[in-house]
Amino acid sequence: MIKNNVISSRIGLFLRSARKEKKLTGKKLAKLMNVSQQQISRYETGITSITLEQLNELLIILDKSWFDAVSYIERENESGVRGKSEKNKCLSSSFHLYNKSLR
């Protein structure tokens, strides 16, 4: 299973990439989310865990889907995980997170 801090870090990288792709500053995204720019930075660096509700709101603002987020985590896991069984555990955890969000 993927450790929580690893998920937070990878989600953060995904969010930063999506924000930059949308040409939003951290300050502008923070305003849209009604949080501080520092909080956005904490999400993007993985310092602070993000709730599913907050992540869903960010995905909507950034025009991204849950599938996009989970696919990003999978790609990161595949590049950083050695061993087939460990990789399968990571993929299973990612899809569990995705399926949980659909409920």
Residue ranges of domains in the chain: 4-102
Cβ neighbours for 27, distance < 8 A, ≥ 6 positions apart? 37
Report residue 5's pLDDT band, with 50, 70 and 90 as the boundaries.
Answer: confident
3-state secondary structure of 37: helix
How far apart (Å, rounded) are the C-alpha atoms in residues 74 and 30?
27
Flag whether pLDDT at 45 surpasses 60: yes
Q: State both tokens at 12.
A: 């953060």
E-strand ranges in the chain read none
The predicted structure's pLDDT at residue 11: 95
Write down the CATH number for the domain with range 4-102.
1.10.260.40
